[in-house]
Every structure is written in structure tokens, then in C-alpha cells.
Amino acid sequence: MFFRVNDMPVIKYIPIHQSPKRLIRYVLQNRKTDDLKYATGLNVPVDNINACYDAMRDTFEIASGERFFKRSLDGLDGEKKKKEKVRLHHYIQSFAPGETTPEEAHKIGLEWAREIFGNDHEVIISTHIDKGHIHNHFAVAAYDLEGKAWYANKKTLRHCREVSDRLAKEHGLSVIEKPKYKSCHKYGEWLAQKNGTSWKQKLCDDIDRLILQDNVKSVDDLVRELRNMGYEVKHGKYISIKAAKNRKPIRSFRLGNGYAIEELRYRIENKNLEMPLSEVMKYEGIQREYALCLRQLQIMVYRNLENSVRADYRTLRQSAELLTFITEKKITSAAQFEDEVNAAAERCDEIRNRKKELEAAIRFEEKFVADAARYLELINSETLSAEDMAELEKYEYLSSYRVSGKRDIEAHRDKLSYLKSQLANTDDELTAAESEKKKYGDNYRTFLQQSQSDYDFIREQVKREKEEMERAAKLSEQEKEQEENNRKNKYQI
């Protein structure tokens, strides 16, 4: 893939072979588009992600004869594995920081989409404004409404850029007449991997092999074995590995998915063994469904089967953490999960409001203690000047508290100390509540992401496996019942 640098606006193209719903959901995020203010659909609704997905799915499946979402692990209807068709075309149009407004950028994007794809194509135009530079996203259907395919190649990409440049000029934006191009990939490293000479690939292979050894039971054990093999390894917040004296060290997470410390720890603890069905059966409700999904993901990653969702060790770790969380919290349904997320947020709000009340009370008591001494001095004076009378008016609020001596001031000073101790306790309580709220929020986001993502075929596998488990359990129960009846009949005879 190639794209222009230092050219405004910049056009970049990404083919989407899998996860079409993930792209649709991403480009239509409320926080990125000011609640969809800067989102427009050509022949598709953008105010409802599911309706938008369904429309694009129907167009694709009618025109291509294939399913829009990914095939199952074993392929669709026994067909041989082949390269996936493009589900959606993803174009990105970026503008220089500060060069345009969201309204103008969205207008340019709409003009560009209509000129490139015409009036018979399904296109989402979404302007994202949450970054330092404004940019447009275009999710384009692979076929138009007449069933004609859109071909993304060098010729069409050149045309896309030419139209973008012309529209930029018409709107007074900057354009470089002779743009330079650069590759997104390091060719040397790619060629080395292809030829089997990549030092990074060798390092990955060594790590993969060491993880499966019986004597590697922790990340520390892995570091020790790497050092025994001659690698220079530093283990702190990151794992830094130097493969040769004349080569710079590399942090493990830069080797790819499965090599960050958290993922290495997960791989070592699980040793590439999927969760047994007997363990899955211990869960109930959505816990069991998640345990089954996690098991399918593990099988897919560990056994190198068709990985249609591009699941990796990070995905497995997140799924395992989510399963642990909903189990610890005894969450058995999506509705209960949502209720508890809201309850955690409400607890934070309640404590935060209580803190504000305490802070207001403390400010009052501090003012009271500071003003009361002077107030007593003034009211006990035999004569007051005009200035004293004016000053006394500032302390008029104290008269309603019947401050008559130092004992009253000490009582409010004691109350101030008590309020401050209460505030300290409230700070600790709020820190704990906010931490709990974050845990609920993070896990609920993972829950929603996985529930709404393109894991259709995993859910199909899970549904079939769950039905088989239930049939087996029912059969076992029937066998036990039959044995009990036989036993009773035997004694009756």
C-alpha cells in the first residue's frame, strides 16, 4: 500500500476483507463525530449502526452470493479455503491541522464521495474531529445497488487523489503539485522473513519454543532461558532483548501480538491448552456463553485454525479477564451487567456530592473560626469607630450562632477537625469507588465490543456446542433415571 506524504488533503486506502461491522461502528462513533453531526450516508442510514450494517450486508450478499460476515472455522458449506472478497472499501481523507473546519471537511468529503462513487452506491461519510487533525472516513460498499463491483486499484486510487486535490483547490486548501510516495512496509524485513533470514522471526521462534518447555513457568524463567541461549535481556517494565552485539535491542511487544509481557505471562500460564468443557459447564448464564467463546478463541489461536476475527493473545487475555470479572461479581445476564455498571457510576456520584458538601462545610467552619475572634473583640469593645462599625457588619452572620466566648470558637474548631477527618475518609472512599467504576466500565466496554462485533461464526459454534452439551446432559439424566427405575423394579420383584 502506498500513500502520499506532505500533501493536503491526503487519501489513504484500506481494503476490509473481514470485520465490516467493526469498521462501521468505528467510523460512526458519537464522540468522534459530535453525536453524528458530521456523519452522512449515501443510500444507507447512519443513525442506526445495525440498520446500516444490514443494508450493506444485503447488497453484498445479493451481488456476491457470499455471506457478509466471516466464514466459520471450517469454511462455509465445506468450500475450500480461498482469499476473502473485499467486504468494504475504507478510504481516509486527512487535512492539515488548523487548515479547515469540521463543516468544510465534511462538505468536501460529501462532494468527493458523490463524484467518485455516484448516486447508486452505499457510502458512509464520517468526519472525525477528536484528533489534532480533522479527517474523513469513507466506508464504501463493495458493490453498488445495481450489483456492479467497485475495483480499488492503482488507477482508481490515482483518480481518487486527483479529485481530492481538485476539490481541495476549489476550497482554498493547500496541495503539493508533485507529491512524493513512500511505502508503508519495510521491504528488507519483509524479504528477510520471506527468505527465512529475519533475526526477529528467529527470536519469535525461540520465544515460542521456550514457552512450551516444562521448566518455563513464569516470565522470569523465560528471561533466564533466553539469556542461556545468548540473548542480552533486560527485564523491567518492558522486556528488552538484544540479539547480537551489532544490533540494537528491541522491546518484546514490538515483535507483534503475543509478545508483550502481559501476553507472554498469559501464554506461559495457559501453555496453549484450551479450557476443557468440564470447566465450561461450571458456569451459568452469560458466564457459560463467554467461557464457550473464550474456548473457541483459544482453539483458533492455539491450533492456528482460520482466524477470521484476527484473534490474538491480547484478545484471549481480555476475554479471560472479562470472564473472571463477571464470575467474581456473580453477573449472569447482560441486563444485570448494565445495572451494576450504572450502580457503580451512581456510587461515585453520591460520594462525589458528599465530598462537595463536606468541602463547603469546611470552608464555612474555617471562615467562622477565622472571623469569630475579631467578632468577639468588636462586640466587647466599649466604643466603636465608623470603621469598626463597617467591619462589624461583615461578621453579622455570626450573630445568629450566638458566639459569646472562646469556648464557642473551640467548639467550631473541633467541628472543623472532625469534618477534615471525614473528608480524608471520603477521599479514600471516592478513590476506591472510582477504581471500581473503572473496572466495571473497562469490562463492560469489552463486553459490548465482543457482543456487537463480527463474532457471528463463533457464536454459531458456541450455540452448536452448547446444544450438544445440553443434549448430552439430558441424555445422562435420562440414563440415571432409567437406572434408578431398573433398580426399583429389581427390588419390587
What is the residue whose three cell numbers read 551489532? 246
SS3 state of residue 232 = strand
CB contact at 8 A, 140 and 117: yes
Q: How many helices (H) and strands (E) does the chain have?
A: 15, 10
What is the residue whose three cell numbers read 458530521? 38
Residues 6+ apart with CB under 8 A from 77: none
pLDDT of residue 463: 64
Where are the chain's structural domains? 2-184, 195-270, 277-332+455-476, 334-449
Q: Does domain 2-184 have CATH number 3.30.930.30?
A: yes
pLDDT of residue 76: 41
Least confident span in 177-186, 326-335, 476-485: 177-186
Indicate whether 180 pLDDT > 80: no
Residues 6+ apart with CB under 8 A from 454: 18, 19, 20, 21, 22, 69, 70, 309
pLDDT of residue 65: 83
Interatomic CA distance for residues 89 and 68, integer angstroms: 13
pLDDT digits (tens, 9 = 90+) for 373-391: 888 888 888 888 888 888 8
Interatomic CA distance for residues 326 and 444, integer angstroms: 10
pLDDT digits (tens, 9 = 90+) for 402-455: 888 888 889 999 999 999 999 999 999 999 999 999 999 888 887 877 665 545
Nearest to 423 by CA among 431, 412, 435: 431
- What is the chain's alpha carbon radius of gyration, rounded to the nearest angstrom? 33
> What average pLDDT does range 219-230 have in this prediction?
93
> What average pLDDT does range 285-298 have in this prediction?
78
pLDDT of residue 77: 43
Least confident span in 2-16, 281-295, 402-416, 448-462: 448-462
Confidence label for 211 from pLDDT (cuts 50, 70 and 90): confident
Indicate whether 186 pLDDT > 60: no
Interatomic CA distance for residues 479 and 421, integer angstroms: 65
pLDDT digits (tens, 9 = 90+) for 112-145: 999 999 989 999 999 998 776 789 999 999 999 9
Q: How far is CA 423 from CA 143, 201, 399, 410, in A?
A: 62, 56, 28, 20
The DSSP symbol for 405 reads: S
